[in-house]
Amino acid sequence: MNMKYYRELNGWSQQQLADKLCVSRPVITRLESGEQVPDLSYILSLCKAFNIQIEKLLGATHQTTDSIFEESMNYTIEHPLTPIVDYLCKQPRLVASIQTLLKLKAKERRIIEDLIITTIEKSAKLAE
């Protein structure tokens, strides 16, 4: 599951990751589905490809939004960003898209931000 998370966080398809690891795409599918348990060489290759420490890939350093707030000294029980951060943690494709958005020039970014805001507002009105 972590493997898929980091793959999607990087915006890679299964084929792109397979190419980086010099394996076939079905190997990536089996690893992500849990059908195949990765050996140490795969784990190390994945860490190198994702540029993360092995503990992160294995989920040994999972950090909740609560601990993030504690570390940044902004922790409150009812922080308004908590549900947003929790949502983003579960949406790696959205996070990757937002990271791409942040790389755009301010004018281009504002146009896309306006489109997103308008889409959300219109969707909310339709849901009422």
80 compared with 128, residue with greater pLDDT = 128
The DSSP 8-state label assigned to residue 104 in this structure reads S
Mark which of 39, 58, 77 sits at the end of a domain: 58
Tell me the CA distances in angstroms from 51 to 24, 42, 126, one per residue in order: 21, 14, 42
> Quick check: 5 pLDDT over 70?
yes
Tell me the CA distances in angstroms from 28 to 19, 24, 72, one per residue in order: 10, 7, 36
Q: What is the arithmetic mean of pLDDT over 112-123? A: 90
What is the extent of the structural domain holding 33? 2-58
Same domain, 82 and 103: yes
Q: What is the arithmetic mean of pLDDT over 80-85? A: 75
Same domain, 19 and 50: yes
pLDDT of residue 75: 42
> Quick check: 3 pLDDT over 90?
no
Count CA atoms closer than 13 A to 92's CA, side-chain side: 13
Same domain, 14 and 46: yes
Q: Cβ distance 3 to 49 under 8 Å?
A: no
Tally: H helices and E strands in the chain: 9, 0
Same domain, 77 and 97: yes
Same domain, 25 and 73: no
Same domain, 49 and 88: no
Same domain, 51 and 76: no
pTM of the model: 0.46
Mark which of 14, 41, 58 sits at the end of a domain: 58
Based on the structure, what is the number of domains in the chain? 2
Same domain, 34 and 70: no
pLDDT of residue 79: 63
Q: Residue 50 maps to which CATH number?
A: 1.10.260.40
68 compared with 36, residue with greater pLDDT = 36
